[in-house]
Amino acid sequence: MTDVSPMFVEPSPVPADLSGELVVLVDDGGAAIGVAPKASVHGADTPRHLAFSCYVIDASGRLLVSRRATTKPTFPGVLTNSLCGHPGPGESLPDAVCRRAGSELGLDLGGSPIRLVLPRFSYRAEMNGVVENEACPVFVVTVPDGIPLAPDADEVASAEWMPWADYRDRVLDGSLQVSSWSTDQVRQLVALGADPGDWPEAAPSDLPPAARVQSSA
């Protein structure tokens, strides 16, 4: 029998009849209850599933702000935080952050520490009849100034660096319209401190049970 730490869970096997990118379905307590194709899971009655958000901050304290491609089926054209995504079955959230940063933004996170800051964030949002319903832990990563970007036009319409304080203040006063999830995240992040570099790192044991998969790194 495999010895499994109580902090982490082993992934369930993926059914052989499912193909394409898969998302992990979770119950209200954040435990995995199955998988489903990402292409078919989003609609008017989207089941709760596992996701993540990440805030990429450079050494000068600027946030990488992205605008979702207008061709995306969910929340097209919406300005939001640096990147979001879904871990695959058995994939750790830090590994998923690195994978998505590379595929979506052409951003190589390399050895930059990926810090968990809001382990239990979750939300439900709707746009044009399409619902997002996610258990969505939030991460922050600090990168060097001038790090190369190569956004995928199918995913990202634009990307720019904005001082974190400007983004924070304009989101909170309503002068910058961003995704509803980033608005809610910012409200919680400000409680962690003014400087993202000082935000305390949460323990992996605070993650939803479905997210407690060890990184391959």
Catalytic residues: 84, 134
Q: At what angle do helices 164-173 and 180-189 cross, to 10 degrees?
A: 110
Give Cα separations from 208 to 81, 103, 114, 190 (angstroms).
Answer: 22, 25, 17, 22
CB atoms within 10 A of CB 37: 12
Which position has the token pair 């305390």? 200
Q: What is the CA radius of gyration of the chain?
A: 17
Q: Which residues contact 193 (CB under 8 A, 6 or more apart)?
A: 199, 200
Look at residue 124 and give its three-state secondary structure.
Answer: strand
